[in-house]
Structure 1
Amino acid sequence: APELTALSVFDLSPAPGQELEGSYAGKVTSAADVAAAAAGAEVILTCLPRSSNVKSVADELISKKALAPGSVWIDCTSGDPTFASTIAAMLDEAGCTYVDAAVSGGPAGAAAGTLTAMLGVPEGSPHMEHARPLVAQFAKNIVHCGPVGAGFAIKAVNNTMMAAHI
């Protein structure tokens, strides 16, 4: 497992970030805004309500030139597979690689580190192996589903199947 050397977090509600900052003094910083959290980061990890929220964050980081060249963006949003390609293209132009990493397992799985992550990243991409150990910090099962958007698509199918069984 990679060792945590520095983590910058941002949440619209400052309390969760401040709690992490207190628990991991010297390793976690609660940033004042999303650009400050992303500035110089090798990896950006998002889990937002919708893909449109992710695009808004990407637009802001691109406009503020807050993305480090060669960075990787791992998006755990239960996102839109088609929109993921749009986000990936705009981030690629900014020198950042996008990996969709939809997760399944709910809050209990997140707390236990036993989520399933469904990754969408081109086969053979070096970013797949870069993302895997980071995702393994919160996911027990990591499945490569195909190119960008495939992780989100499989998550949507999974949700549909689960709803059909209820």
Structure 2
Amino acid sequence: MKIAFIGLGHMGSGMAANLVRAGHEVRAYDLSETALSQAMADGAIGAASLSEACEGVDAVVTMLPAGQHVLSVYGEVFGVAPKSAILIDCSTIDVESARQVAGQAEAAGYQMIDAPVSGGMAGAKAGTLTFMCGGTKTAFSGAEPILAKMGKAVIHAGEAGAGQAAKICNNMLLAITMIGTCEAFALAEKLGLKDQVFFDIASKASGQNWSMTSYCPVPGPVPASPANNDYQPGFAAALMLKDLSLAMQAAAQSDADTPLGAKAHALYEALCSQGHAAQDFSYMMERIRRGA
């Protein structure tokens, strides 16, 4: 297949490379020349413009920062990409923008799906992402074979915007469990328990959770976790704050009560304001240890 890939940041670069490895002709475009050069080194064909990337393709995949970027980019994609091309937005954006761009795509004669991801940079590079998809069954059927080359799980969540809803709810839960895990380790340390001992117990008891067993926020127990690499992401605290902000926006719009989500948002906002936005979100461990 001929696939246009727009947005080659930390996540998009690994995803595009996996599509190349799967045998697809990937036409890459990004405003960053450095990012575009890396994509070309990975085997993609560099495009000089968004329009050039989208001409004659079978699919368009985007990985962009926010809703306004998605709306702007697809405003250019419509009418350039063939009507037969499946449109797949893997960005994490607000639900309303996802529904708006899907409506515009339908009006322009395209099938489109929102397919935000979970798995971070490591998952993007390894091709082990989880895709949460919103759109019609027809659009999902068209997108699934492409997404499967970049991930371990591709799940249809419902109609347009449902993928974004699943993503922000999942990451709100992730933030809450990470903070709780950090608090538990910090208290265990103050009570004289070694990190490995507490891990060995809690990871096999009722406190077990993904933030502990797969992404442990203290060095030692899980060698692959960012805590063993000076908290280099991974999944940056700034990105977690972005997702929590989207969750809080959605909670306000839907009149949902999310007290722990609101507290998690406040804690990550403080962590980022203290100069740790670029570090992994599990750096919350250090903030809780300091108590400030």
> TM-score, length-normalised on structure 2?
0.51
Distance 2:167 2:42 in 1: 32
Higher RCO (C-alpha 8 Å, min separation 6): 1
Q: In structure 2, what is the equivalent of residue 145 of structure 1? A: 157
Residue type of the partner of 1:133?
A: P
Q: Which of the pair has more CA radius of gyration?
A: 2
Partner of 1:6: 25
- Which consecutive residues of structure 2, in runs of 5 or more, have no partner in the other structure? 1-18, 180-292
**Offset of residue 5 of structure 1:** 4.2
Displacement after TM superposition at 1:135 (Å): 0.4
Matched length: 158
Q: 1:19 maps to which residue? A: 38
**Are residue 53 (structure 1) and residue 69 (structure 2) matched?**
yes
- Contact 1:104 1:117 (C-alpha < 8 Å) held by counterparts: yes
SS at match of 1:163: helix
Give the structure 2 partner of residue 37 of structure 1: 53
SS for the counterpart of 1:132 is helix
Larger strand proportion of the pair: 1
User: Superposition RMSD on alpha carbons, in Å?
Assistant: 1.6
Query: 1:127 aligns to what?
Result: 139
Runs of 5+ unmatched residues, structure 1: none
Structure 1 runs (4+) greater than 6 angstroms displaced: none
Return the alpha-carbon distance in structure 2 between the equivalents of residues 69 and 61 of structure 1: 10
CA–CA separation in structure 2 for the residues paired with 1:23 and 1:116: 22
2:148 pairs with one of 123, 130, 136: 136
- The TM-score with structure 1 as length reference comes to 0.88
Helix, strand or coil: the match of 2:116?
strand
Equivalent residue, structure 1, for 2:175: 163
Aligned amino acid, residue 165 of structure 2: A
1:92 is aligned to: 106
Q: Percent identity?
A: 34
Structure 1 residue 16, shift from structure 2 partner? 2.8
